A and B are shown apart, each in its own frame.
Chain A
Amino acid sequence: MIGLIQSVVLVSVLSAGLLLARMLAPYIANVYSYESRGRQDRLFLPIETAIYRLCGIKQDRVMEWKEYFTAMIVLNGLMALISFIVLIFQNSLPLDPQGFPGVRWDLALNTAMSISSNTNLQHYAGENTLSYLSQMVAIQFLQFTSAATGLAVAIAVIRGFAGKARGKQGLGNFYVDFVRSLTRILLPLSFVAALVFVYLGVPQSLNGYTPVTTIQGAQQLIKIGPVASLVSIMQLGTNGGGYYGANSAYPFQNPSQASDLLEMILMLLIPTAMPFVYGEMLGKKSRKEGISILVAAYALFMVDLAIALYPSTAIGPGMEVRFGGFAPVFWTVTTTAVTTGSVNAALSALNPLVIVSAFMGMLIQATPGGIGVGLVYMLMYVLITVFIVGLMSGRTPEYLGMKIGVRDIKLAVFGFLIHPFIVLVPTFMAYATRATSAIGLGTGSISFTEVLYEFTSAAANNGSDFLGSAANTVFFNVSTAIVMWTGRFVPIAVMLAIAGSMYSRDRGPTNGAGLKTDSLTFALVLFATILIVVVLTFFPFLALGPLLEFLRGHVNGF
């Protein structure tokens, strides 16, 4: 349970996030609109036109969903490849003042696929492994592109759902959406945020680590680098991969309560804005469709918070004294709810119920979920919910006036099925191949929680983990790499395919003939369906892991 001040902090962070998101949403919707964007264009269009010309992008080309997906996967593959090469050869490349050696192939592979899939699972400690160039090119650059990819995909899916009546541009053009995400949203916002972080004391430097002698006379290496710029995009883009191994528990990455709160608001910002953007892009009459989604997402978020805050939030070992006991709990719930995966305390320091709550965020992936993809997941749940319960209104299920057909359900259920598959099968494999015992993990519920968390986090493209550099083995590097890409791109493909077919579909009258999906009732039903169909599915596994630890009375059992 929490006290008054903590409640005030909680409420103000959430309302600040909601308020800023609401203010940002019309701008985001406008960025991707195909009508005149006025003043915005005067500033950005020349830069973008130069980029299009440089890369030979035909910006008027309308893409089918397959083409959109192909463009996206090829571009991301290319980015991952660049990242992979930079990591392997970082010792032969410039900007390596500490003389770090090249990264081993499996770790490089894992890192490249992790950052490019917006996961940022880190099996390394950045400050001891990566050169400045690697931090900037292999990590930070991809944090921008993966976030831009997420946004582009969400916009394409929204266009499909909105249909041809709302725009003649099909799902759009991936390259254009991608470039606009970068130039008009991510770069400006993270630039401002980086400046604020610098002001709050986060370092931004390329001058190498500084050795100092402490007051007690001991030698210490002050590990500074281009941190502020990375922190801003890692939170804003719900990436979560920190400059330092300890992530935002490291003072240079998160120096004060103020920076702590700001980072939380940053990671909530765009995911919270997306439902508003959705409503905005569906058109005036359907604006409330976005609200009902947001209500369901935040209701689930509140359940997460309630579970996590149920036990006391006293400071335990492994927590940052600067933040106290409450901030890490709030942070952990938030960072999993938006699948960012940054941490400001060791997960093992937290009460098992907080870990249960973290699992819930990662299993649902839409509370409100990662940048762009959170909304995409939510739409998948909406389709499944409408299909299951919609019949009870006496009509065959329809969403936005469109009948949900056999193909939609086939695809949505497939996308839905992927998640348990890529979480549970690798978890079993880890034990079956003895990859767990190789890194000293036993068969108890603590170890089980850690392994399950590893794959859940990878599948949800979250990136927080218990194992960290302990999991730097070939098995974990390769297996999580596969899980991360599958968990990222298969659901995206599925939803693009659905959106692609919805785009040209006929829409019936939406005025109250069937189930009203823009109502509070629907938000509640969506909320309940997600709890039953998504979370309860994993109930036996949670019962074997964190829940069991809680029942055994461990306060920070990990």
Chain B
Amino acid sequence: MDPETRGQGEMEDEERWQLSTVLRDSVLRLNPVRLISNPVMFVVELTFFIVAVMATFPGAFYPVAHASEQTFYAEVAFLLFLTVWFSTLSDALAEAQAGNTAKSLRKLESTVMAKKIVAGQKGKGGTAAETVVLTPSTELCKGDIVIIEKNDVVPTDAEVIEGIAMIDESLLTGESAAVRKASGDTLIGGSKVVSDVLKARITVNPEESFINQMIKLVESSKRPKTPNEQALTIMLIGLTAIFTIIVLSLLGLSIELGLGVDLSVLIALYVCLLPTTIGALLPAIGISGISRLYARKIVAKSGRAIETAGDVDTIMLDKTGTITVGNRRAVQFIPFEGHTERELAEASFLASWGDDTPEGRSIIDLAYQMGFLPHEVRSLSGLSYYEFSAVSRTSGTHMSEGSQSFHPKSGKILEQRGRPKRKFLDAEKPDLKIDDTDIIKGAPDAMKAGMNSIPAEFDSITNSVSSAGDTAIAVARNREALGIIRLKDVLKTGMRERINALKSMSIKPIMITGDHPVTAKSIAREVGIDDFVPQAKPEDKYRKVIEERDQHRIVAMIGDGSNDAPALAIADVGLAMNSGTAAAKEAANMVDLESDPSKIIDAVMVGKQLLMTRGAVTTFSIANDVAKYFAIVPVMFATIPALHALNILNLGVHTAVLSALIFNAIVIPLLIPLAMRGVSFRPASAMSLFLKNAVTYGIGGVFIPFAGIKLIDIALGLIIGR
């Protein structure tokens, strides 16, 4: 069977299986004992039981029930049941979605047999012999040493202690290219070794791995409520209590004053007024936040972390890798007087021939793109390189006469990219004879020392380059200064927009960089950041987090190295890179599987969206009450026809109650997609987000039910002709 179609079939099976599970789960959740954690829905279920009894024995409820209304009671009971069921359905759906997340996580965590190294008896030579024992990954403990060979799956999170190998992490990150891991790097459980052999130390106990933590969070039905959920639940209980007092007083007064209120109508009013919409959707909203974050390949260790992410005031961004692509790129050749751009570019090309750093490659790239390909490329011999050293702070190439065959290190790149064509003209047919030549490039001040003469504009050009925040590299041929290469930090695409988005939401970005203040400032200005920490050491990050927290700002930060762990631990939101060390991952409360530091912004967005969704549904739920009062109150007192003047929707006596109940129930499934997806939003200031939501869900919440109830009333009139 074709593997692809098989996969599809499996998926369909899975979905079908899921639908029935969801349905079964939603019914199981109707159990009042389970519902008690959702007080609003629990109360609705109680009222359902009361009305159900009313429908069966109306006589027992005299004078607030009448035998002639038995059908109506059954209808009300059915609608009440529907309301509760819609609520449990939304729970079940959200759980199923989270279950999928857990399942895909579990795939990573599935048990594999690991090759554990156990120290054996003393061998002949007196050294301890090592034996390899096959052990299930679930039995590995912190500190165990395992050997992982080609095609083995990394059993659980571990740290490489010996060897270098290529690792496939595509299951976790979706990145197809294998990653090179050497001693000190972190291995993630579930990734696969594609070449070579590694020896690694297990860094977590089986139940501690963050994937396990995540699975626990997603699967546990007794997920701890976040502080905001707790407060909201109390608010909902309070509202329920108020409406209980009101309805009981109405019931008592109705009997005392002989108002002829029907208990079922009163219960209908009660349930309509209760914040059922938010009560029903509150758990689903919370769970879907976790799922949405996981869809972005970020694993949150708690629901609370997601909420806090929405509240972030300050984000600490590492410059390298987050704001900039990480490497400086050559952008300009500035020749000195008496030299041409071509001369400088070709010399730079040659000087970088042996330089395999990204900067070096970018110089070759720039020269190549500008069409400056030195003729020496064709025939070089005895090519040797001056490696960069911290002492000389220069590097370069030494050329002497030799054979035509050579294979420069960086030349590979050009070949691989498939642009082997020379761009210089035939007329320029080079003189094949080459004298011994030294071409050196390096930091301007280091280069100065070795020059025969220093051009007058050397300093001014160097200064103008560095004062723009860029890096100047001087190039010299045989001790003659040719010019300056301008290297620039390159911003990640879209970074400026993302920083602007942050600032529009009143979040202060802080850039952390090891660069010189001038360079740091230039990058910061370019990307729009006002606050930055230049020449930062790891402990500066920690200090800055403390500083911000002392101003009672909520801080988010990213980290990967072990020295980031303390800062990650005290930051309110700490996002660790999956490629980072185990210590960092342990200290953080979120882990990004793709190891993309700029995704901290995504985490903030998801947090905000979660909070907004919760607020929107709450507001909508409460605003709905207006219409429901006007639907039910005018018709609820049978003995007071004068109140019909308040019946502004002109509803029938029975249909008013049924329409309001139907609307109340149907709104729950209609809003499930909103709860799962979250309210849509574009980054903007808190007030404009608020205004937009307040208009949609507040004002909309007042008027939509008027229209909805009236429409349902008309539909009911058509269907049952009442």
A residues lining the B interface (CB < 8 Å) = 384, 387-397, 401, 404-406, 408-410, 413-414, 416-417, 420-421, 424-425, 427-428, 431-432, 443, 445, 448, 506-509, 511-516, 519, 521, 525, 528, 532-533, 536-541, 543-544, 547-548, 551-552
Contacts and interface: CB of A to CB of B under 8 A. Distances in A.
Interface stretch (B85-93, B213-221, B444-452, B548-556): B548-556
8 contacts: A393-B693, A394-B689, A509-B313, A513-B686, A537-B242, A538-B246, A541-B249, A551-B642
Interface stretch (B111-119, B287-295, B380-388, B619-627): B619-627
A115 to B, nearest CB: 28
Contacts of A387: 231-232, 235
Interface residues of B, number: 69
A100 B232 CA distance: 57
A202 to B, nearest CB: 42
Contacts of A512: 506, 685-687
Contact of B690 (A515, A540, A552): A515
A513 B231 contact: no
Contacts of A392: 612, 615-616, 619, 689-690, 693-694, 697
B40 to A, nearest CB: 14
Interface-central residue, B615, B646, B687, B694, by most chain A CB under 10 Å: B615
B686 A514 contact: yes
B252 A396 contact: no
Nearest to A531: B626
Interface string B687-702: 1011101100110000
A410 B234 contact: yes
The 5 closest A-B pairs by CB, nearest first: A391-B615, A413-B238, A394-B608, A424-B249, A392-B615
Which secondary structure dominates where chain A touches chain B? helix
Contact of A394 (B554, B609, B622): B609
Contact of B249 (A390, A395, A428): A428
Which secondary structure dominates where chain B touches chain A? helix
B78 interface: no
B310 A394 contact: yes
Given A391-B618, A521-B687, A539-B633, A420 B310 contact: no
Interface-central residue, A394, A413, A540, A544, by most chain B CB under 10 Å: A394
A543 to B, nearest CB: 5
A532 B238 contact: no
B505 to A, nearest CB: 7
Contact of B611 (A394, A413, A543): A394
Contacts of A539: 629, 633
A425 B245 contact: yes
Interface in B585-625: 608-609, 611-612, 614-616, 618-619, 622-623, 625
A421 B259 CA distance: 21
Interface in B253-310: 253, 256-259, 269, 307, 310
A393 B258 contact: no
Contacts, number: 188
B335 to A, nearest CB: 50
Contacts of B623: 532
A155 B629 CA distance: 38
B720 interface: no
B426 to A, nearest CB: 65
Contacts of A548: 640, 642-643
Contacts of A532: 622-623, 625-626
Interface string B313-349: 1000000000000000000000000000000000000
Contact of B311 (A396, A424, A428, A552): A396
Contacts of A413: 234-235, 237-239
B308 to A, nearest CB: 8
A536 to B, nearest CB: 6
A515 B313 contact: no
A345 to B, nearest CB: 26
Given A394-B612, A394-B681, A409 B258 contact: no
B712 interface: no
Given A392-B697, A540-B636, 15 more contacts: A388-B235, A388-B622, A389-B615, A393-B690, A405-B227, A406-B231, A406-B234, A409-B235, A448-B257, A515-B690, A519-B687, A525-B698, A537-B242, A543-B633, A544-B637
A513 to B, nearest CB: 4
A417 to B, nearest CB: 6
Interface-central residue, A409, A511, A528, A538, by most chain B CB under 10 Å: A409
Contacts of B392: none
Nearest to A408: B231
Interface in B633-648: 633-634, 636-637, 640, 642-643, 645-646
B633 A393 contact: no
Given A392-B616, A394-B609, A551 B643 contact: yes
A556 to B, nearest CB: 17
Contacts of A408: 231
Contacts of A509: 313, 551-553
B234 A409 contact: yes
Contact of B552 (A393, A401, A405, A416): A401
A258 B126 CA distance: 114
A389 B235 CA distance: 12
A538 B507 CA distance: 42
B311 A395 contact: yes
B634 to A, nearest CB: 8
A513 B506 contact: yes
A544 B646 contact: no
Contact of A389 (B232, B505, B690): B690
A432 B235 CA distance: 31
A507 B246 CA distance: 38
A537 B629 CA distance: 9
A491 to B, nearest CB: 14
